[in-house]
Amino acid sequence: MPLLEPKPGALRPRTGAGHAPAADRVPQERAHGTPQPLRSDLEKLLGSEKVLSKVSDLVRYASDASPYRFIPQVVVLAEDATDVAAVLFYAHEHGRDVVFRAAGTSLNGQAQGEDILIDVRRHWTGVEVLEEGRRARIGPGTTVFRTNAALAPHGRLLGPDPASAIACTVGGVVANNASGMTAGTTRNSYRTVASLTCVLASGTVVDTADPAADEKLAREEPGLCEGLLALKAEIEADARLVARIRAKYELKNTNGYRLDAFLDGVTPVEILRGLMVGSQGTLGFLAEFVFDTLPLHRRTSTGLFFFPSLSAAAAAVPRFNEAGAMSVELMDGNTLRASVSVSGVPQDWADLPKETTALLVEFRSPDDAVREEREQAARAVLADLDLVAPVPSVTNELTRDPGTIASYWKARKAFVTAVGGSRPSGTTLITEDFAVPPSRLAEACEALLELQERHGFDAAVAGHAAHGNLHFLLAFDAANPEDVARYAAFMDDFCRMTVERFDGSLKAEHATGRNIAPFLELEWGAEATELMWRIKRLLDPAGVLAPGVLLDRDPRAHLRGLKSIPSVEAVADPCIECGFCEPTCPSEDLTTTPRQRIVLRREMLRQRPGSLVGENLLASYGYDAVDTCAGDSTCALDCPVGIDTGAMMKSFRHARHSSREERTAARTAQHFARVERSARLAVAAADQLRKRLRGRDGTLGDRMLKAVTGAARKAVRPDLVPEWLPEIPAPAAGRLPATSRQLASAVYYPACVNRIFGDPDGYQGASLPEAMVTVSARAGRPVWIPEDVTGTCCATIWHSKGYEAGNTLMANRMVEAAWRWTDGGELPLVVDASSCTLGIAEEVVPYLTPANRKLHERLTIVDSLVWAAQELLPRLTVESRVASAVLHPTCSMRHLGDEAELRQVAQACAHEVVVPLDAGCCAFAGDRGLLHEELTASATAREAAEVGRRSYDAYLSANRTCEIGMDHATGDRGYHSVIQELERATRPR
């Protein structure tokens, strides 16, 4: 038993006296996870590392961005098409069914199943740029954002542009034929996927780009080929049906199978390519795509225009379309007023009249001449419009400014944020979309708002007005039968209204899913719907793939599996389970993501106190959720409602601490000067041992040190005692450079990590403190290092581990010292580690006394990157540049917003500067990479692979522990501070 064993019971959710288990809780027979023989069968088939079977694994995969929740029997981490085919064959043989899941951002339960769930995200990433960017070969687990980042240097991008691009995968986009703000009916996946590779339900793999694909398919699946051609002939023989199909796809429409695939395709493989797009995982697995990309027009002109009424705004939409607008987005008055809860949205919008409606109009142009022409056309339209400016922040102007444009789009995307984040606690959120003829847009908006009000839902509407595509949100309590009945009545009326009054699409871009499957026949009619059932039977005769996701004859199927939302900790309660946080999470491929941490928490609260399911979830939660959270809080930056799950995990760490542990941490803060010196001496002793043994065996010293720290970790606790890594550098110098207070332009604060650790093995050059002092003096902006910095710290050491007393003590000590050093804030405090800059500038504030908080307000905390870019570079002469440098932007830089300064300084030092497309948080997180080496290994795997594809002359960052983490990940490349490289580059010849 470790000396400081954590208290797992401290993580048990607190429930009131009247707590009752939820009706949709995981039943007790599932407490041990995947049943036998399913678990052992799949482990024999694929290997145990590819089978997730704990109850916590099943629960965390059970929720997606939809209002549904289905608990799978098992989760499979398929690595390739062979794995997928093997699982499909097993399902056929044993009468089981399979659902594919990538990002889990689908809004209608397409990524959920009750049997075998296959994760097709983790091992399915990658972008190969072809034909100078005109085409791209993409793995289905690659996000749209990552794909476009690879295409951007070539001036290209994908046609589909869903609002969830940062999180949703290309596989999900194609499977749902998701489109977005600009794709319309001409730039979506159906129109821009040149070819795809799919695994059919039978296990047959089809590459539609293969010239011999039809020949192979005819040989392997003759019945399928015959059936596809027979359906094509039958459809084409019915002129009325052909006309109906063509008319249905003049609007955005993702409801049901793409019947026009039979009209557009000639051969079975061509038909199959079209059918697979939008098939939602019900006809096969989409294993790879080749897209025809589109030009990335970088010259953008955007305006946010306010109208006195919904009808006035709708009437202006076709005029902006004719003027060449790429996108025209609508926000009604309720949406505009609700969005003020989102940071950055003008607060005076709360005073907008209810009738006010806004259009966000954007023009994208290939060159300046076209931009001028389109702006002139836009101004001509605006001159004839009756615009209003009911509050001061409304300007009704066209702008080219990127910051203003970003703020406009933030307001538009605040639709989901505002409603989702402010919905009543305990309610689930449904996001729906539909399309009507653009000429009837205003009528449809008014009808929808009236319908929402009639059924007691908050009325608000927004959407892609240029394409007649509208979105709305509903919040209701799935645990309340009356609320469910109200929701059901609304859906019945909404679907009839859309089809019978507007002949619209019940699903414009979110795909059928479980929510609209029962209404498919209402929109398409009996004949076309029966054709879709025949397609399903032809390609999946055993019904193995995604039952209920697209086709379902039960008229109330959309009411099954609605998830209750128990109220959890206040910081996480607004979570709408959208998954936007997941791609940025360092532990995404190791244990859990922010969304999953909250999902698991909610399941604990669904359970009866003391239930076996709850206890097993609790037993896994300590490591899976709390210990392996990097605590970098970048999840909050990508979360639509700003949830900081990292902060919640830190609070859980605090809850697990014993009073003894808290006292020890507080004493460490109190005597940190001695701790700091001891740490440097320990690093020095380890370095000497390593060097002494290096002659005999290059790894012997590291192995001995690893064994010693390993024994200590077992004796004390792995989450407290660091593990030795070979990349740990030599100690820092015992003395900091001598500086003068007189004429100093700033106070320089060397972070404690830079007072303990020196430079990477083999690095030749000035230490970071020496470099900072030298280059600042060289620029005529000398800095002063206070003599008493030893024993001070930004407090992140205690903050990240949840030690409140130690954190409070050090936070206040740091601010008091900074106040004294800077003469009451007269001089800026320059900090040489980005995480410490963030700690001193922001994270210490909640722990300060009222008096010290006032002192803190008058301090100017400057990151060394900003100091170098703004104060030093303009005054320096670059004498020599290396040929190339690769950068590692840290998560702290993202919080501070100074990633651009890292690149700016690096560009002064190197002719070629590269930021890896897969760069992200390294999860070293101070010392967490020493406590959980596997966390940093997982978090850095893609970035390290990208860096390792070539060599660079310099490997740069601005945070010492992150540099250690990246050295460990990349094989000791010698990462060091960009400040050190700047000193070298500007050193006089």
DSSP-derived secondary structure letter, 782: -
Torsions phi, psi for 545 (to 5 deg)? -95, 120
Helix (H) or strand (E) holding 330: strand 327-331
Which amino acid, residue 980?
Answer: Q
State the pLDDT at residue 698. 57
Give the mean pLDDT per block of 10 residues along the chain (989 residues): 62 82 96 98 98 98 96 98 97 97 94 97 97 98 97 97 93 96 93 98 97 97 98 98 97 97 98 98 98 96 95 94 94 88 86 94 96 96 94 93 90 76 87 93 93 91 92 92 97 98 96 97 98 98 97 97 95 93 96 98 95 96 96 92 94 91 92 91 83 65 70 67 79 94 97 94 92 98 97 94 95 98 97 97 97 98 98 97 98 96 98 97 88 94 96 96 94 94 96
Condensed to tens digits (0 to 9), the pLDDT of residues 779-805 reads 999 999 999 999 999 999 999 999 999
Q: What pLDDT is attached to residue 351?
A: 93
Sheet with 882-887, edge to edge strand ranges: 910-914, 882-887, 954-957, 976-977
Strands, E, within 225-320: which ranges? 284-292, 294-295, 299-307
Integer CA distances (angstroms), 474 to 431, 491, 515, 570, 603, in order: 7, 10, 13, 21, 22
Which residues does 869 contact at the CB level (< 8 Å), separation at least 6?
A: 898, 901, 904, 905
SS (H, E, C) 581-600: CHHHCCCCCCCCCHHHHHHH
**pLDDT score recorded for residue 8:** 67
Distance between CA 261 and CA 276 in Å, rounded? 9
Instruction: Give the per-residue pLDDT at 717.
Output: 65
Axis-axis angle for helices 310-322, 441-454 (nearest 10): 150
Amino acid letter at 549?
A: V
**Residue 795, phi then psi, degrees to nearest 5:** 80, 0
Gap between the Cα atoms of 697 and 676, Å rounded: 31
The continuous run of DSSP H or E covering 361 comes out as strand 357-365
**Interatomic CA distance for residues 10 and 622, integer angstroms:** 10
Contact 389/306 with Cβ under 8 angstroms? yes
Domains of the chain in sequence order: 127-295 (3.30.465.10), 299-510 (3.40.462.40), 670-870 (no CATH), 878-985 (3.40.50)
Q: Are 290 and 137 in contact (CB under 8 A)?
A: yes
Residue-level pLDDT at 411: 84
Is the N-terminal amide bond of 37 cis, ω within 30° of 0? yes
Side-chain-side CA neighbours of residue 862 (13 Å):
22
Whole-number Å distance between alpha carbons of 497 and 171? 32
The strand pair at 299-307 and 398-399 is best described as antiparallel
Taking residue 485's Cβ as centre, other Cβ atoms within 10 Å add up to: 12
DSSP state letter for 549: S
Helices (H), 430-554: 441-454, 481-496, 502, 513-516, 520-539
Q: CA 660 from chain center: how many Å?
A: 38
Helix (H) or strand (E) holding 381: helix 368-383
Query: What tokens appear for 178 in the block?
Result: 């998701």
Tell me phi and psi for residue 394, to 5 degrees. Answer: -85, 120
pLDDT computed for residue 2 by the predictor:
46
3-state helix, strand, coil in the chain (%, to 5): 50, 15, 40
Q: How many CB atoms lie within 10 A of CB 727?
A: 22
In a 13 Å sphere around the CA of 429, the CA atoms on its Cβ side amount to 26
pLDDT number for residue 17: 67
Q: Which of these, 155, 196, 218, lies nearest to 291 by C-alpha position?
A: 196
- Phi, psi (5° rounding) for residue 957? -155, -155
What's the predicted TM-score (pTM) here? 0.95
Q: Collapsing DSSP states into helix, strand and coil, what is residue 63?
A: strand
Residue 607: the pLDDT is 96
